[in-house]
Structure 1
Amino acid sequence: MKEIYKKFAKLEGIIANILLISIFILVFLSAFTRTLGHPINWAQDAALVAFAWMTFLGSDLAIRNTRLIGIEVLTKRFPKVIQKYLDIIFKIIIIIFLIILIRYGYTMVITGIRRTITTLGISYAYVTASVPVGSFLMIISTMIRLIESVKTPIEKWGEDK
């Protein structure tokens, strides 16, 4: 199971990088052709779709690689036992927030199905689906980090962070 997850994580990173490069190319190309008097109308909308997905996939990558904004300046001053429990509490709060995002993201997908992105001819649900899908992936990554936090003995807390 761990091998499948590692391969999925690698694929997710590749997709996020491709999306980032695509956004750059689309926005640059759109601006360049607009200055020539021949704008590419669909490029901005395609960049929007790529940006939505890149944001949520990139957020999952940040959680997986522990690159989140933290309040370590404050928490590092506490004893290790309090640091550990605060870390666990914060991860649980993150999971609850992500569950709420899935709930309301699903509603956004359902209400956006009939709405189309005119220049691309696709449903707006393809954009809004990034919210529940990305949130679900972030829950998995946060759960893995939560289990690691629970299993880490207090004596070793903070050594590899």
Structure 2
Amino acid sequence: MRQLYLKFSKVENILANALLIAIFALVFLSAFMRTIGSPVNWAQDAALVAFAWMVFLGSDLAIRNTKLIGIEVLTKHLPKNVQKYLDIIFKIIIIIFLMVLVKYGYTMVITGARRSIPTLGISYAYVTAAVPVGSLLMIISIIIKLIEAIKTPMIKWGGEN
């Protein structure tokens, strides 16, 4: 199972990077073509779709690689056992928030299915699906981090300050 997750993580990383490159290329193409008097109307919409997906995939990558903004300025002065418990509590709160995003994101997908993006000829649901899918991916990553935090002995956290 771990091997499958690692392979998926690599694919997700490649996809997020490809989306970032695509956004750059699409915005550049759109600006260049507009400058020479031949605008490419669909490029901006395609860049926005790519951006929505890149944000949620990139957020999952940030969680997986522990690159989230922390409040270490405050917590590093607390005893190590308190740091561990706060870390666990914060992860649980994040999971609950992401579950709310999955629930309402799913609703957005259902309602967005009736709308379309005229320049691309696709349903708006393809854009809004980034919210529940990305949130589910983040939930998986945080659960893995939560299990690691719970299993880590207090001694490995450094003990008391």
Tell me whether 1:30 sits opposite 2:24 in the alignment.
Answer: no
TM-score scaled by length of structure 2: 0.97
Aligned to 1:148: 148
Q: For 1:9-24, list aligned pairs within 5 A.
A: 9-24=9-24
Alpha-carbon offset, residue 3 of structure 1: 0.4
Q: Distance in 2 between matches of 1:75 and 1:122?
A: 47
Alpha-carbon offset, residue 96 of structure 1: 0.1
Aligned to 1:56: 56
Alpha-carbon offset, residue 107 of structure 1: 0.4
Which SS does the other structure have where 1:6 is aligned? Answer: helix
Q: Distance in 2 between matches of 1:87 and 1:7?
A: 27
Q: Output the amino acid matched with 1:20.
A: L
Q: Distance in 2 between matches of 1:50 and 1:146?
A: 30
Q: For 1:1-161, list aligned pairs within 5 A.
A: 1-157=1-157
Alpha-carbon offset, residue 154 of structure 1: 1.1
Q: Output the amino acid matched with 1:104.
A: Y
Q: Distance in 2 between matches of 1:80 and 1:151?
A: 15
Q: Output the amino acid matched with 1:131.
A: V
Q: Output the amino acid matched with 1:47.
A: A
Root mean square deviation, CA, Å: 1.0
Alpha-carbon offset, residue 98 of structure 1: 0.2
Deviation per CA, 1:118-159: give whole Å up to 9, x if none.
00000000000000000000000000000000011111116x
TM-score scaled by length of structure 1: 0.97
Q: Distance in 2 between matches of 1:130 and 1:31?
A: 26
Count of matched residue pairs:
159
* 148-157 vs 11-20, greater mean Cα deviation: 148-157
Identity of counterpart residues, as a percentage? 77
Runs of 5+ consecutive residues of structure 2 not aligned to the other structure: none
Alpha-carbon offset, residue 47 of structure 1: 0.3
Q: Output the amino acid matched with 2:101.
A: L
Deviation per CA, 1:95-124: give whole Å up to 9, x if none.
000000000000000000010000000000
Alpha-carbon offset, residue 91 of structure 1: 0.1
Which SS does the other structure have where 2:90 is aligned? Answer: helix
Deviation per CA, 1:37-73: give whole Å up to 9, x if none.
1000000000000000000000000000000000011
Q: Distance in 2 between matches of 1:154 and 1:46?
A: 48
Q: Could you list the runs of 4 or more consecutive aligned residues of structure 1 that deviate by over 6 angstroms after TM superposition?
A: none
